[in-house]
Amino acid sequence: MPPIRADFGFYPMRLSLRSGDISVETRADFDETAVDFENWEGIEGDWIYPPPQREHTFGGVVRELPYHSRVFGLPKTHIIAHEAADGSDRLRFHVWALSFFLGTRLTTTEAGFLDATPIKPGKLVDFHLSHAALLKAIALAEQFWIANSHDPVRAKRFVAAVHALFIAHRPQNLQFEQFIYLYTALDACYALAASIHPPIKKPSHSDRFDWMCNLFGMTPPGWALKTSGSTVQVAVLRNATLHEALFMDEPLGFAIHGVGTNQNLPLEMEALVCRLLVALIGGGTSIYVKSPVNTRMRYSLDLP
């Protein structure tokens, strides 16, 4: 039976990877597709944004609308193949996992990007991998798929957490939007963790983050721990945001968290999501998983 293949992108560097039954190669038209990407329309800094919406009016006049598309596509640059895959879902999962480990959105679909995406690798995570570690990451993703093939929603939850983490990075997000995306990513991590490692007693909503951190030997950040009043800072903030339309006691969009303090809650939430995802896909013994979340340091990701 021939291997199942899929084109994906956008990744601006050549790749040649082989891990077991899985291979990733650069498309033959890579030079024509990717070499001039910095001159594309819609690039600002390290991000590319969707093109303007245009419509054709009577008489053949093209009118540019005052808003942009939200969902958009980019050229395919690489090919992934699996010699033992039983369907395209397995390939799509591997592309999502590769997206996470490379720190940039990759997709097999024609329009797989939402609002904005980085055009340089590593922007969406706080770690980097060597070539050898990247091969191990592909192997971990394959082991995860095989071990959880009896419960397909587990792979979907991993993908959902990655996607929420990624869209939280959009530069134009207001802080309350970023917070909501990251909280849902943490919720997806909890749902996946509780499915794979069922707790003896289901933790309360406020205890979920502490439970996950203890599961993987991580030190919980202060905002995930109960105070003397049996409340968890991040859960209180979430309840007010989602149930009362208040963020930091103001209508959504008019206040930010951490003013006058050294705390950067979104940064720490992003870092915690990254560590949980590495642990959940099988890298729980990595030193990175137990590294501090209250720093902008980029770590080298070691994998078992």
Note whether 164 and 188 are within 8 A (CB): yes
CB 188 within 8 A of CB 157: yes
In a domain, 162, yes or no: yes
Question: Is there a domain that residue 191 lies in?
Answer: yes
The half-sphere exposure of 187 on its side-chain side, counting CA atoms within 13 A, is 11
pLDDT single digits (tens) 100-152: 999 999 999 999 999 999 988 999 999 999 999 999 999 999 999 999 999 99
If one counts the domains in the chain, the total is 1
Six-digit token string for 176:
């309350």
Q: Calculate mean pLDDT across residues 238-244.
A: 95
Q: Is residue 235 a part of any domain in this protein?
A: yes
N- to C-terminal Cα distance for the chain?
31
Which tokens in the block code for residue 161?
């957490």
**203 vs 11, residue with greater confidence:** 11
Is 69 a member of any domain?
Answer: no
**Is position 8 within any domain?**
no
The whole domain housing 194 covers 151-304
Residue 180 covered by a domain: yes
The bridge status of strand 22-26 relative to strand 16-19 is: antiparallel
Give the model confidence (pLDDT) of 71-109 as tens digits.
999 999 999 999 998 889 999 999 999 999 999 999 999
Model confidence at 58: pLDDT above 90: no
Which span out of 20-29, 34-43, 218-227 was modeled with the highest average pLDDT?
20-29
Residue 202 belongs to a domain: yes
In a domain, 22, yes or no: no
pTM of the model: 0.94
